[in-house]
Chains A and B, each alone.
Chain A
Amino acid sequence: MLSIAGIANSIHQWLNETFSSGWATLLEFVLVGILVISFFAFLGLVLVFMERKVSAYMQLRVGPNRVGYKGLAQTLADTIKLVVKEGLTPDGADKFLFNFAPFLVLIASMLLMAPIAFAKDFQIWDINIGVLYITAISSISVIGVLMAGWSSNNKYSLLGAMRSGAQIVSYELSAGLAIMTIVILAGSIRLSDIIASQENGWWIFKGHIPAIIAFVIYIIAVTAETNRAPFDLAEAESELTAGFHTEYSGMKFALFFLSEYVNIFIVCAIGATLFLGGWMPLHIGHWEGFNHIMDFIPSSLWFMGKTFFLIFLIMWFRWTFPRLRIDQLLNLEWKYLLPISLFNLLLVTFIALMGWYF
């Protein structure tokens, strides 16, 4: 049967037959790098267009509808504009940090692509500490944001970066605790094991109430971590013009913009993997016939469908809720999400010990 994993395997075999194993590995590195970069570009185009259309329909507008068929080429035209534009570096800026920051943010996003399972047996690197790797790497991007804010030599950028730092650091706690819930239920931090443990039902159904609470907390926390409305104080357009990327233009701005959307994709992909079973089709207990029909839908489609459903959910939040103040933001985290997720962790540990999940 033709599958993504099959294609990957045949390429791997062909490379190993044609070249020595060292060269084959090197070529595979290059191939994976090219694939990840082109996937980033594709994601940027698709997600920006999706966001503009979703926001338009939620605000009773039509959205982009002039460039190309139904406006589909709009984001392509925007990208060309950004590539052609001059990338200005302010005179008072710290040149090295200023030019390095967008790449750091993007590299952090690229590293996060490694453990994500896009389809059955199709994963760049099935590392045995997958969940730990994800939580560790995702906190690197805040350094890039702080770098950008500091080196811009602009008070709005610095304020935005500081807000962003406070926000990401505090919301990582509840995101981590929500992930821990699933780690306890699945009994492993290797992502392929977590997906395999959902073969007879996704954790959001099998783990009933604690899993649902953890899912809601995870979605709220990652919305804050990706600096999106209603938690977009870091780049609050109306107060700080654009926050940490005020001084960026051209391609360097585009890299920040791209990494924002790629981060959304990544957190949604991880959410889909942990709570909605990743590439695992919808299986219900021992309904053999039903499970068999669901298996006919390709695993990559299941993964993309779930991820884009979560992305849509986050976009829905953005275009519905008003922005929080900084005190409300920290209240929400420290007074509500953190106690609830700690209690939830206790509850799920008890449930896992008693074996009360399905």
Chain B
Amino acid sequence: MSFLIDYIRTVYKSVRSLLIGMRKTGYYFTHHKEIITQNYPENRDTLNLPERFRGEVVMTHNEANEHRCTGCTACELACPNGTIKIVTKFDITPEGKKKKALDTFVYHLELCTMCNLCIEACPTSAIKMDQAFEHSVYDRRLLTKKLNKPDSKLMEGVE
């Protein structure tokens, strides 16, 4: 007898759970305001990207054209597929000492998988993810970018 009760209970429970699923999809079918896809080329000006969307790596600069990169190569070591190449130089400090500094931050966009590991590795928060995503170009050499702006310097107090 308990077998029969179990059997009927299984049928009842499974039918109920299936109906819950169908109610959800039925709700989505009748409520078109829930749709999350956007008509992309038409709404280019009003495009609403999610907060965590990652498009490319950029380096932040302030108004005085100063960045926060010390050239420590932590991002280069963190990158799993060799997207980042850091070229360093030696600056002469006012005391006459030699100090290692960033010369060129080379970023190969064509190799980047937007994994965010470089941003997490950076000790000085010099780089961040930007949301620009229209990267198509006719020559792939154009995808190799120099992230630090020309004549930019290291920000005061960033070690």
Closest Cβ of chain A: how far from B150's Cβ, in Å? Answer: 43
From residue 14 to 33 of chain B, which have CB atoms closer than 8 A to chain A? 18, 21-22, 24-26, 28-29, 32
Contact with B along A45-57 (1 / 0, CB 8 A): 0000000001001
Stretch at the interface among A97-105, A149-157, A180-188, A315-323: A315-323
Given contacts A54-B29, A316-B26, A62 and B35 within 8 Å (CB-CB): yes
What are the residues of chain B within 8 A of A59 when measuring CB–CB?
28
Closest Cβ of chain A: how far from B111's Cβ, in Å? Answer: 29
Cα distance A317–B39 in the bound complex, in angstroms: 27
Closest Cβ of chain A: how far from B28's Cβ, in Å? Answer: 5
What are the residues of chain A within 8 A of B26 when measuring CB–CB?
316
Interface core residue of B25, B32, B34 (most chain A CB under 10 Å) = B25
Compute the total of residue contacts between A and B using a CB distance below 8 Å.
Answer: 36
Cα distance A355–B18 in the bound complex, in angstroms: 34
Chain B residue, CB-CB nearest to A54 = B29
Interface core residue of A54, A60, A62 (most chain B CB under 10 Å) = A60
Interface size class of B (residues with CB under 8 A): 10 to 19
Is A61 in contact with B35, judged by CB distance below 8 angstroms? yes
Q: Does A58 contact B (CB under 8 A)?
A: yes
Choice from A54, A60, A316, A340 contacting B37 with Cβ under 8 Å: A60
Choice from B21, B24, B32 contacting A57 with Cβ under 8 Å: B32
Cα distance A173–B150 in the bound complex, in angstroms: 77
Cα distance A328–B11 in the bound complex, in angstroms: 14
Q: Does B36 contact A (CB under 8 A)?
A: yes
Chain B residue, CB-CB nearest to A340 = B11
Closest Cβ of chain A: how far from B2's Cβ, in Å? Answer: 17
Contact with A along B28-61 (1 / 0, CB 8 A): 1100101111010000000000000000000000
Closest Cβ of chain A: how far from B35's Cβ, in Å? Answer: 5
Q: Does A19 contact B (CB under 8 A)?
A: no
What are the residues of chain A within 8 A of B11 when measuring CB–CB?
336, 340
Choice from A60, A320, A336 contacting B35 with Cβ under 8 Å: A60
What are the residues of chain B within 8 A of A340 when measuring CB–CB?
11
Cα distance A340–B26 in the bound complex, in angstroms: 28
Cα distance A60–B32 in the bound complex, in angstroms: 8
Is A61 in contact with B29, judged by CB distance below 8 angstroms? no
Closest Cβ of chain A: how far from B48's Cβ, in Å? Answer: 15
Choice from A61, A62, A65, A320 contacting B25 with Cβ under 8 Å: A320
What are the residues of chain B within 8 A of A58 when measuring CB–CB?
25, 28-29
Closest Cβ of chain B: how far from A63's Cβ, in Å? Answer: 9
What are the residues of chain B within 8 A of A62 when measuring CB–CB?
35, 37, 39
Cα distance A340–B28 in the bound complex, in angstroms: 32
Cα distance A321–B11 in the bound complex, in angstroms: 16
What are the residues of chain B within 8 A of A61 when measuring CB–CB?
35-37
Cα distance A336–B11 in the bound complex, in angstroms: 8
Cα distance A320–B25 in the bound complex, in angstroms: 6
Cα distance A61–B39 in the bound complex, in angstroms: 10
From residue 22 to 62 of chain A, which have CB atoms closer than 8 A to chain B? 54, 57-62
Choice from A54, A65, A320, A336 contacting B22 with Cβ under 8 Å: A320
What are the residues of chain A within 8 A of B25 when measuring CB–CB?
58, 316, 319-320
Cα distance A128–B18 in the bound complex, in angstroms: 38
Cα distance A30–B22 in the bound complex, in angstroms: 44
Is A57 in contact with B37, judged by CB distance below 8 angstroms? no
Chain B residue, CB-CB nearest to A339 = B7
Cα distance A59–B27 in the bound complex, in angstroms: 11
Is A60 in contact with B21, judged by CB distance below 8 angstroms? no
Chain A residue, CB-CB nearest to B38 = A62
Chain A residue, CB-CB nearest to B36 = A60
Contact with B along A300-333 (1 / 0, CB 8 A): 0000000000000000110111000000000000
Interface core residue of B11, B26, B29, B35 (most chain A CB under 10 Å) = B29
What are the residues of chain A within 8 A of B29 when measuring CB–CB?
54, 57-58, 316
A interface, CB within 8 angstroms of B: 54, 57-62, 65, 316-317, 319-321, 336, 340
20 A-B interface contacts by CB (under 8 A): A54-B29, A57-B28, A58-B25, A58-B29, A59-B28, A60-B28, A60-B34, A60-B35, A60-B36, A61-B35, A62-B37, A65-B39, A316-B22, A316-B25, A320-B22, A320-B24, A320-B25, A321-B18, A321-B21, A340-B11
B interface, CB within 8 angstroms of A: 11, 18, 21-22, 24-26, 28-29, 32, 34-37, 39
A62-B37, A320-B21 known; 13 new pairs, CB 8 Å cut-off, are A58-B28, A60-B28, A60-B35, A60-B36, A61-B35, A62-B35, A62-B39, A316-B22, A317-B22, A320-B24, A320-B25, A321-B21, A340-B11
